[in-house]
Every structure is written in structure tokens, then in C-alpha cells.
Chain A
Amino acid sequence: MANGTIAVEGKTAEVDFYHVKGKYKGILSWLLTTDHKRIGLMYLSSMTVFFLSAMTLGVLMRLEMLTPGETIMSAQTYNSFFTLHGVIMIFLFIIPGVPAVFGNFILPIQLGAKDVQFPRLNLLSWYLYMIGGGLAIFSLFVGSGIADTGWTFYVPFSIRTTTNVSLTVFAAFVLGFSSILTGLNFLTTIHRLRCPGMTWFRMPLFVWAIYATSWIQVLATPVIGITLLLVILERAFGIGVFDPTLGGDPLLYQHLFWIYSHPAVYIMVLPAMGVVSEIIPTFAKKPIFGYVPIAISSLGIALVGYLVWGHHMFSSGISDTSRVIFSLLTFIVALPSGIKVFNWVATLYKGSIDVTAPMLFTLLFIFIFSIGGLTGLVLGALNTDIFLTDTYFVVGHFHYVMFGGMGLIFFASLHYWFPKMYGKMYNEKVAKVAAYWIGIGFNVLYFPMFIMGYLGMPRRYYDYLPEFQTYHIISTVGSWILVSGILVMVFNLINGIRNGKKTTDNPWGGTTLEWTVPSPPPLENFEEIPTVTTGPYDHTHIHKQEVKN
């Protein structure tokens, strides 16, 4: 690894963004900040709390599944737990995760900008996020019971249940605005604030991925907003849009829900793919293989991703013709993801590969995400989906794609940009041990779910037939391995923030603009707005620089 830096030497006189003196001091200097880096870190800390609580719910659910019948909780509690686990993980971690934290912190620097286009709107997005999260938590303690509908809020159940669905749904509604405004902010930033020389095809692929994601956020999120509002109105006034007893149509809800929620899957996973396209060139020390195909495939996924929502409804009673069309389109949307995977692997060819902690997480991602993607083919196929949908096979597939896709890359991003964010370094050995640990736990936890699903274990089951118990035991043990690995990783990172060794501006030998500024960066990132003359992953440039130094 190159320990030489390409940053302009001797410019450390400028105060980093943590220590810069502003209008406000102490906690207010964070709560009233408009600095994209501080906002990114505020997202990170609140998100960590949400993630760890939803993870705890998940572990408790797995513990409940250790034996058939009641193990530690009642059926009603279990139903509330999987609803909460889903709502928190999806709406507060997976959807905002990478864009809110790393998009905010890194994207403006990668573009050579001083901040996002609308810094105040950016702060408002964070407040909306916190209000939405707060409402979701508030809904646990008021009304008659915790929502028990599952994160999909399917009608008519969500209309009939007496639990506190309206408030939980409203929380998701507020979170939607946070998502829309963040997307809008990034879109304008990417269009307006690229530094001189930063043409579209010189943008880092992370920026391309966030760009595609932002379009989905802006265009698809309003649909779910209105849909959730209709659920609240239906519950309060019985307006008869979804309720079949009033002439409404439950399938209409499913259409509207998935018109947003399927593209949302790509809101979750596209930014993660962008990060992978950053990490691999850095540690293979060569340009990404097929820059243009990767950039275009991000847009392709965003576009075709709009047209496949029906595959969530293959057994719901939609017409046979629409099932066939949705199935064909689903197979087509698999292609750009596949192309990305091939390009990433090809980037390794004839590189000079350094398997650091972020790289290890990324390699793990390629393996696990491939399993997630490939099991998606079975679910995109018509007759096998009708057999496997709503079973544990789907639960397994979903976690391989979402947790294996977005979650692992969130961890990779943390390790990759950690030195930039904190100016310090975590313990590399512990980080690698944690990565292997997480990889093993992950597969022990989620792989048995494919087998259970094939054998006929339906999802969202509080109780099950004893023939499934062996698999449930394995899966539960896996959850313990996975969680202990995550805890080791979290403690290692926290310890790195407190006691880590000081690091250089460019510890990995990265080539994108964030590695040219000090770690941590100063308030407005650049003393002088840079001019870009090459593509984002030009390692020949680095070599010449190192020789000169």
C-alpha cells in the first residue's frame, strides 16, 4: 500500500471541520450545522442506534424460532417484532443508509464541491429523518398495541387491526419526505456543482450510482407517500379505496405499494454498488474494468427497476398475461447487475491487490450478493415463484440481497472512508477478523432459509412443524455468530475513533478527489476548487507522483 500521499503537502494549517469555529458551540454546532460532513456524521450516529435496535429485535426473533411453540415471546409480540424489525431496517437504515451517510460526507468532495447545492435543505432532511424515526418509536408506546402488519402494511389486515398502524404508517410517510429532499439535493449538486474538468464520464462511479438512486427517490417516493396516506384515511374515515367491504380493491394497494417499493430495492442497493466500484479500483491499483458499462447499467437498473413491481404479486390473482410480462422484465433487470459483477471481478485481473478490511468486506459482498441475485432468478421465474413466494426462501433471498448487498457494503464503506472521516485508523487485524466472522455468521444464519423455503416453511410464522427445527436451530446459532461479529466490528471502530493512530490524507492510495484533501477535511473541503484532467481511477498518475516524491 502506498503510504505516500498525493495531497498537497504542508497544508495542514487549515483547521479540520471538527475544530473550526462557527456561530454555535457544543451540541448546537452540530444540530444547527449546514456542513454536509457534519450532517453525514449525524445520520451515521442516529442510524447506528436504529440499526443496532432492529438487529436486537432480529436476534430475539431468531431466539423465538429456536423451538416450535412459545420459546420466549407470545405470537402477538412476535408479529410486532417482525413488523418493527422490517420498518426500522428498511425505512431507517437500508433506504437512507449509504446516500445519507456517505453520499453526504463523500459525494460533494468527490465532485470537487464545497458543499451540496442546498445545505439548509440538507439539514431539514436530517430533521425529517429524526422526526420520522421518533414517530416510529413514539408509536410503540401510544395507542392500542404495536403495529403487527409486517413492513408491507398489506390491506385489508392493516385496516382491520386495532394496533397502532396509523402512526407507524405516518412515520414512514414523513421519512419519505426526507428521502425525496435528499434525492433532490444530490441531483442538483451533481448537475450544478461539478468542479472544472469533471465531465459526466469523469465522475466517480459512486456519484453515478447516487445519481441513478436520486432519480428513483424523487420519482417513486411520492407514490408510497400517497398510498400510506390513503391507508390512514381508510382507517380513520373508511373512504373505500382499499377496503373490499366498501367496494375498494386490496390488490390496488399492492400495486401502489410495490410501484414504490420495488424501485426502492434499487434505492437500497445501487449506492452500495457504487461504493464497490470505488473500493475495488483503489485496492487493485488499476482503473475499473468497463467504466461506461457500469455507469450505464446503474441507469439501466433504475429505469427497468420501475417496470417489475408485479413480480411481488405473482400469486395475488393478477392476470396471467401481466404475470408473464412482469416475469420477462424481471429476468431483464437481472442483467445489468450481472454485468456489474463481471466487471468487478475483471477489475481484479492483473491488478496489484491489497486485501485490506474494506476490500475483504467487498469480496465477501460479491460472493453473498451473487447468491442473493441468483436465487432471485428462481423467484422471477413464474412457476417456481408461485411455489416459493411467501416462504422462507424469499426471506433468505431478501436478506442475501439487502443485508448482503447494502449492509455489508455499508460496513465496507465505514472501513474505507473511516480514515477520511476521523483522520484516524482502526485496528486492521481486528477489522479483518470481524469481516470473516460476519461472513461465516451470515451464511449460517440465512442459508438454511433457502432449504426451509423449498421444504415448505411459510414466512412470518410464529410457530412451525417440528420437521423444520434442525434448520431453525442452525439459523439461530448463525444469528449469534453474526451478531457477535458485528459487535466486534462496532467496538473496533469506536475504539478507532477514540484511540486510533493518526492517519495520512490518503492511506489507501485512492485516486478520487476525497483523497486529495486533508483527513479530516476542512470546513469547505477545498482551499482552492480543483481542476480535473483525468478519469476517476487513474492509477498511472499516482505512480508518477510517487516516483517524483
Chain B
Amino acid sequence: MRPSIINEVDTTFWIITGISIVLLLIITVAMLYFVFKYNKKRNPVPENIEGNTTLEVIWTIIPIILVLYMFFVSWSGFRNMRDFPKDAMVVKVTGQMWKWTFEYDTKKKSDTLMLPHNKDIKFDITSIDVLHSFYMPHFRTKEDAVPGRINHYWIRTADLGTYYVACAEYCGLNHSYMYAPVKVIPEEEFEIWKNTLPADTTKKDTSAVKKDSLSSSGSVTDSTKMNKDTLKTGIKTDSIKKSPASDMKKPDTLKK
């Protein structure tokens, strides 16, 4: 069983943050203590110290060791992120202004990301107009959707539930509305869904998120999981006013 990307990212984050907090405390406490202890009232005559080679060596070597340690921790997590499982299910992700489309091996297209529970999923990510970034906060990972190329990442759907995709690379007027719901459902349900017609369930308008597509059975405990009410109030589909074409030069279709 491979380590979970979510855990690895969180562990790396807290290791680095922990070391950082200690360093910050050392710096701040030393600074305040010196300012207090060697105040000109308490210490009118300064001492003429120009430096100390031993100290310079110490506070060069220790940080080198610390940052190399941080580098290796994050590198090993990164290797896991980039080592795609061979038997992973592939989902094609296409970003456009301003919605996501997900395509499955059955040619089924959807604007809700349906995923089977307890599976490794690999995403092939691209865009048909400008840069977007396929970001799933819950799964601690993102990768840009770049027109003309395909980027990848993989996740493991360890828990049932409803999460969300957000766009993390600025892409114009409705950038902040470019969400898509993610539903991790039991595998049997998923297989039925994947093979059911109509094959293309994407909405033909620009609003990425539909309230009715978010009814979820998953428990909502993680703040990065999508909350039903949150979405209802948070993303007002009616506030998306302009259609992409009205504001932009028409993006030509990509030459493959």
C-alpha cells in the first residue's frame, strides 16, 4: 500500500512549519532579549565585537542541514505524487472559460467529476483556451491546464464523499466561479453511472456548477470537502453574467 499523498503533504507541511516556528522563536526571542538587556540605559557602553567565525560557521552549517532535510522530505513526497500507478483509471480533464469537462474511457462526458471509491485515478489535464489550474484542495494537489499540452497527476479516492475542483490559475472574468463538484461513490454505482446514457451530461452553458448536481451522501467533516449549503450560497450561478465569447477574442480551436 503506497503512502497517501494527502498525509505526506500534510506531514511535510507541518515538519517545515514546525522547524520554522522554532527558528522564528529563536530569532524573535533573542532579538527582544538583546534589545531589553543591552538597552542604552542599562548598557551605556557598547562592546566592540566585529564578528565570530565559529558562530558564522555554525549558523551556516545548521541551516544547510535543516534545508537539506526539508528538501528530502518534500522530494520523497513529490516522487510519490509523480509515480503514476500503472493500473490507474484515466480521466481526461479539459478546462475552458469557465467550466471543467471530464471524459471517461466509455466516452462519457460530465461536468461533475464522478469517481469510484478506493481507486487510483490518473488525470490527463489540458485546456482549450487559456491557462487554468486543476486544483482539488482536499487531495492536496494541483496541476495547470495548459492549451497544447497534457499534464498529469494522480490521486487515490480513499474516502467516500463530495469534494470540489477549483480553478487556481487566473483565467478572466469568472475565474472565481470555475468550480466543479467531485463525488466519490462506491465502485458498483460508479460503473453503472459510467455506462449509462446519455453519454454527454455536460451543460451547454457557462455555469460550471449546478446546485442539483451536488446532492451528496458523503459525510462532510473536512473543511476542504464541498458543503452543500456552502455551494448554494457561495456560488451564485446567476451572477455569471457574460458569456466567454463576448469578452474575449474568439479562441481558435487548437491545432493538434
Residues on A lying within 8 angstroms of B by beta carbon are 1, 68-70, 75-76, 79, 148-150, 154, 156-157, 160-162, 244-245, 247, 249-251, 284-287, 289-293, 315-317, 320, 323-324, 327-328, 331-332, 334-335, 338-339, 341-343, 345-346, 348-355, 363, 366-367, 370-371, 374-375, 377-378, 381-384, 386-387, 389-391, 454-456, 458-467, 539-540
Contacts and interface: CB of A to CB of B under 8 A. Distances in A.
A317 to B, nearest CB: 4
Contact of A390 (B45, B133, B252): B133
A324 B148 contact: no
A378 B70 CA distance: 9
Most chain A C-beta atoms within 10 Å of own C-beta, residue among B78, B81, B173, B254:
B78
Contacts of A342: 27, 55, 59
Contacts of B148: 244-245, 249-250
Interface in B16-33: 16-17, 19-20, 23-24, 27-28, 30-31
A161 B144 contact: no
B136 to A, nearest CB: 9
A290 B67 contact: no
Given A384-B12, A455-B137, A156 B131 contact: yes
Contacts of B17: 378
Contact of A352 (B24, B45, B50, B52): B45
A348 B34 contact: yes
Contacts of A383: 5, 8-9, 12, 74, 77-78, 80-81, 140
B199 interface: no
B198 interface: no
A69 B173 contact: no
Nearest to B125: A317
A287 B143 CA distance: 49
Contacts of B30: 345
B35 A355 contact: yes
Given A245-B251, A331-B71, A467-B223, 5 more contacts: A70-B239, A286-B48, A353-B35, A381-B12, A467-B230
Contacts of B50: 287, 289-291
Interface of B: 5, 8-9, 12-13, 16-17, 19-20, 23-24, 27-28, 30-31, 34-35, 38-40, 43-52, 55-56, 59-60, 63-64, 67-68, 70-71, 73-75, 77-78, 80-82, 129-131, 133, 135, 137-138, 140-144, 146-149, 151, 166-177, 223-224, 227, 230-231, 233-236, 239, 247-249, 251-255
B223 A455 contact: yes
Contacts of B35: 348, 353, 355, 363
Contacts of B5: 383
Nearest to A332: B67
Nearest to B57: A293
Contacts of B230: 465-467
A70 B231 CA distance: 16
Contact of A381 (B59, B74, B129): B74
A69 B16 contact: no
A54 B45 CA distance: 45
A536 B142 CA distance: 50
26 contacts: A156-B130, A160-B249, A161-B249, A244-B146, A245-B148, A245-B251, A245-B254, A285-B46, A287-B50, A327-B71, A327-B75, A334-B63, A335-B60, A339-B56, A346-B52, A349-B49, A350-B43, A352-B38, A355-B35, A367-B24, A370-B28, A383-B8, A383-B81, A384-B16, A463-B176, A539-B48
A387 B9 contact: yes
Contact of B235 (A157, A286, A378, A463): A463
Contact of B27 (A323, A351, A370): A370
Given A75-B173, A150-B170, A317-B149, A348 B31 contact: yes
Nearest to A337: B63
Contacts of A339: 56, 59-60, 63
Contact of A456 (B63, B131, B166): B166
B71 A328 contact: yes
Contacts of A150: 170
A123 B128 CA distance: 48
Given A249-B148, A342-B59, A462-B176, A386 B38 contact: no
A76 B176 CA distance: 11
Nearest to A285: B46
Contacts of A459: 168, 170
Given A291-B50, A462-B176, A345 B27 contact: yes
Contact of B131 (A250, A320, A391, A454): A250
B174 A458 contact: no
Nearest to A157: B130
A338 B142 contact: no
Contact of A377 (B70, B147, B227): B70
Contacts of B63: 334-335, 338-339
A62 B68 CA distance: 38
Contacts of A69: 236, 239
Contact of B24 (A315, A328, A332, A374): A374
Contacts of B49: 286-287, 289, 349-350
Nearest to A251: B146
Given A245-B252, A349-B34, A381-B16, A161 B172 contact: yes
B62 to A, nearest CB: 10
Contacts of B28: 366-367, 370
Contacts of B19: 377
Nearest to A369: B27
B95 to A, nearest CB: 12
A47 B230 CA distance: 43
Contacts of A462: 175-176
Contacts of B255: 245, 247
Contacts of B248: 160-162
B56 A381 contact: no
A458 B130 CA distance: 17
A150 B168 CA distance: 13
Nearest to A360: B35
Given A335-B64, A351-B38, A381-B12, A460 B170 contact: yes
B177 A463 contact: yes
A76 B34 CA distance: 50
A461 B24 CA distance: 31
A124 to B, nearest CB: 35
Contacts of B51: 289-293, 343
A170 B168 CA distance: 27
A447 to B, nearest CB: 13
A269 B77 CA distance: 31
Contacts of B130: 156-157, 160
A346 B166 contact: no
Contacts of A351: 34, 38, 43, 46-47
B172 A390 contact: no
A125 B225 CA distance: 52
Contacts of B12: 381, 383-384
A464 B80 CA distance: 31
B67 A377 contact: yes
Contacts of B143: 315, 317, 386
A342 B54 CA distance: 13
Contact of B9 (A157, A354, A384, A539): A384
